[in-house]
Amino acid sequence: MNKAPVNIIFQKIRDAWVRSTWLAWIITAISISLVMGFFLSYLFGISYLWLIPVTIILAVLLIRIDKSWKIDVIDVARFLDREYPELEESSVLLLNNTDDLNFLQQIQMQKAMSRLQRISHPQRTNPKLKLAFGVLAISALVISVMAFATKNSLPKITGESPVAEAKTETVKRPLIVKSIDVWVRPPAYTGIKEQHQRGGSIKALPASKLRWEINVSGTIHAIEIVVNDSKRISAQSSGGAENWEIRSEMPGQGYYQVNFSGQSSPLYQIELITDQSPEIKVQSPAPDLLIRYGDPERFKLNALIKDDYGISAAKVSATVSRGSGEAVKFEQKNIPTGIHFSAHAREYQINQQIDLKSLGMIPGDELYLFVSAVDNNKQEKRSDIFRVILEDTAQLFSMEGLNSGLDIKPEFFRSQRQIIIETEQLLRDQLNISKEQFQEKSNSLGIDQKLLRLRYGKFLGEESSTYEHEGDGHEDDATGIPDNNADILSEYGHSHDNAEDATYFDAETKKQLRATLNEMWKSELQLRTYKPKDALPFEYEALRLLKDLQQKSRAYVAKTNLKTTPLKPETRLTGDLREIVQPVYSIFNEYKPSPDDPVRNALGTMNDLMAGKSFNSSDLEELRKAHLVLSRRAMDAPADYLAALKSLRTILPALESNQPVQSADVIKVSKAFQLMLTDPSATPSLKTPVDKILSDIYFSNLKKLQH
């Protein structure tokens, strides 16, 4: 017997069961996703488009968890035997080979086959499909109840405004902006890739490229972006769309909003990032560096250069000044940094040893240098100017100025130059004389230095032959025994006669003269220990301080000439006062409007709204004027005033249509107005001095006592 029709029937029954099982789980996933989507949309405003992937994922998970759809023909035969008694539980025989059955089984198989052909389409429904439709019905009921409840419980716009509540009108739900994504491409010199900024607010550098991706709740045919209520960037579509893309350059700082189909989105902030100039920090040398005699004629330049987007070039510029007076000459030089800026890094460190001899400097020359850097945006920045002076020892021997000025300095200071000359001569003759002669001459020079120091010490009131070295932490008397009570007596005792105060020198002169004596003491120490080479720097420093003292004594008094009005002999001493009249003063107080007047008036209106007072058309006009001022402030500082501008644009339409306003908006606008106001200028007024008030009270009480 041909079993092909039987196999087809079994296969049809199996396929129908699998399809019904899959359909049941798909319906269940849709029901659950609808409930989830309703709550998420109501609470967080999430779009329903997210339900499509959620439904697919949920359906796949349910089908994978349930294994009941994985059945074979034996399961179908058992199902038929259980549901249809007329088959006499013989459906399994239809799956066996005829040759393997005995005579009675073959007869029963033929009977079951004939009955199966009459019931080839079972009428029983998959129980999972019934369960799925039940879940769908429950989901629809839950959504309906929640939609009705949320519709009746929507919060009304309330506030503490005294404006009477208007009648509730049914307004058609407007289109809304679902999402705004902004892609910012900074300028190429920054090396920064395109950035994604969500929420609509923009923060970018000048010359950046912007790309808006805007998604609205319905199909529209035109859309535009309005920047600072003036500049418009529009896009149109012939067929209409929900997703829009607009490209533009960075429009500048301020705010913008999206307009479409006669509606406007909230205000979004545009913040302009400023590209800072390079930052240069020079650690060394000092602003004024003096290289003295005997010191190495070189210095180290350490500078740190930083920029927020990279450095493209840097250089060290130097100017050598030579000569004095009208014969001064300048020579420009560029000192290479030895750094390659091809990497355009954000930070570079300059460490360079600069040799003054390589720059052609001689004693007496001055070097002026500065470091300049250029960033990737071609912005240049220069550091402060640093001066390096190479001391000229020859100028110390000049006699210029020594015979001028007040002669309050002793004449013995000329011996300091002689000590220097003899010390240099001793160094030149060192190889030609014996060691004993060298030490004897060095000691003699030390004695001369001591005598010179003692002579200058008399000008500071010193009478002892012992000089207290500045910087030592002890004192010695004539016997060489330390006096431990000196500090206590100087702090708590009373001195009737201070030696230093018994001079005619000012404090600055005494301080410099004391420093000169200190340098002489150091020079004497080196000469006495047979080190004339080490004594030379101290000798030169002492001579430099002495000459500086002489120059400070010079004074210049400019010539003055007084021109008086010539006298008239014919009217002199006549006593004629006819042309002398009492002066008349006229004061006109003219009020000039202040730019803050609209803001002050609007702030008063805001206070009236908070206090529950009524307002009129003039108050509304003041608010409109303040709105213009607040708009300009929001362009300059959107981070401070944009939120208040949004609230004011909510308050104005509500007041115009006699609708209640939110107290939170009123508070936010009032704070912005207070921030915008400046202190008024002080007006002239008569103030009674405090001492006058006290004197009036005193005499008033005195009169009461007399009566």
Per-residue model confidence (pLDDT) at position 151: 55
Q: What is the spatial distance between Cα 303 and Cα 12, in angstroms, rounded to a whole number?
A: 88
Whether the pLDDT of residue 57 is over 90: the answer is: no
Least confident piece of the model among 124-128, 145-149, 427-431, 507-511? 124-128
- As a 3-state breakdown, the chain gives helix, strand, coil percent values, each rounded to 5, of 45, 20, 35
Please state, as a whole number, how many other Cβ atoms lie within 10 Å of the Cβ of residue 251.
Answer: 17
Which stretch, 14-18, 125-129, 185-189, has highest mean pLDDT? 185-189
Q: What is the spatial distance between Cα 137 and Cα 131, in angstroms, rounded to a whole number?
A: 10
Per-residue model confidence (pLDDT) at position 250: 87
Please state, as a whole number, how many other Cβ atoms lie within 10 Å of the Cβ of residue 28.
Answer: 21
Burial class (CB in 10 A: 0-12, 13-18, 19+), 303: buried
Least confident piece of the model among 261-265, 374-378, 486-490, 509-513? 486-490
What residues does 209 pair with on adjacent strands?
185, 249
Pairing of the two strands 347-355 and 298-306: antiparallel
Per-residue model confidence (pLDDT) at position 414: 43
Between 344 and 99, residue with greater pLDDT: 344
User: Which one-letter DSSP state was computed for residue 467?
Assistant: -
Q: What is the spatial distance between Cα 318 and Cα 382, in angstroms, rounded to a whole number?
A: 13
pLDDT-based confidence at 153, cuts 50/70/90? very low
Which stretch, 260-264, 405-409, 645-649, has highest mean pLDDT? 645-649
Say which CATH topology domain 279-394 has. Immunoglobulin-like (2.60.40)
| 285 preceded by a cis bond (ω within 30 of 0) | yes
User: What is the rounded average pLDDT for all residues in the chain?
Assistant: 76
The angle, 0 to 180 degrees and rounded to 10, between the axes of the packed helices 103-118 and 4-44 is 50
Considering the segment(s) 177-272 as one domain, its CATH architecture is Sandwich (2.60)
**Contacts by residues 399-408 (CB-CB < 8 Å, ≥ 24 positions apart):** 401/550, 401/551, 401/554, 402/550, 404/554, 405/550, 405/551, 405/553, 405/554, 405/555, 406/553, 406/555, 408/504, 408/505, 408/553
Per-residue model confidence (pLDDT) at position 157: 34
pLDDT-based confidence at 494, cuts 50/70/90? very low
Whether the pLDDT of residue 439 is over 80: the answer is: yes
Between 240 and 88, residue with greater pLDDT: 240
pLDDT-based confidence at 548, cuts 50/70/90? confident
Mean pLDDT, residues 252-261 taken together:
86
The angle, 0 to 180 degrees and rounded to 10, between the axes of the packed helices 415-428 and 532-552 is 160
Q: Where in the sequence of the chain do the CATH 2.60.40.10 domains occur?
A: 279-394
Least confident piece of the model among 340-354, 432-446, 565-579, 619-633? 565-579
Mean pLDDT, residues 285-294 taken together:
84
- Residue labelled with tokens 């808006």: 212
Pairing of the two strands 366-375 and 380-382: antiparallel
What residues does 298 pair with on adjacent strands?
355
The pair of structure tokens assigned to 302 is: 């350490």
Whether the pLDDT of residue 304 is over 90: the answer is: yes
Per-residue model confidence (pLDDT) at position 564: 79
Burial class (CB in 10 A: 0-12, 13-18, 19+), 513: buried
Burial class (CB in 10 A: 0-12, 13-18, 19+), 22: middle
Mean pLDDT, residues 340-358 taken together:
88
Three-state DSSP at 106 gives helix
Q: What is the spatial distance between Cα 451 and Cα 447, in angstroms, rounded to a whole number?
A: 6
Between the alpha carbon of residue 599 and those of residues 32, 372, 641, 677, the distances in Å are 55, 46, 13, 7
Residue type, position 501, single letter? D
Per-residue model confidence (pLDDT) at position 170: 37
Pairing of the two strands 263-264 and 254-260: antiparallel
Per-residue model confidence (pLDDT) at position 1: 46
Per-residue model confidence (pLDDT) at position 328: 75
Per-residue model confidence (pLDDT) at position 11: 64
Per-residue model confidence (pLDDT) at position 373: 92
Instruction: Please give the angle made by the CA atoms of 683, 688 and 692, to the nearest 5 degrees.
Output: 165
The pair of structure tokens assigned to 165 is: 């509540």
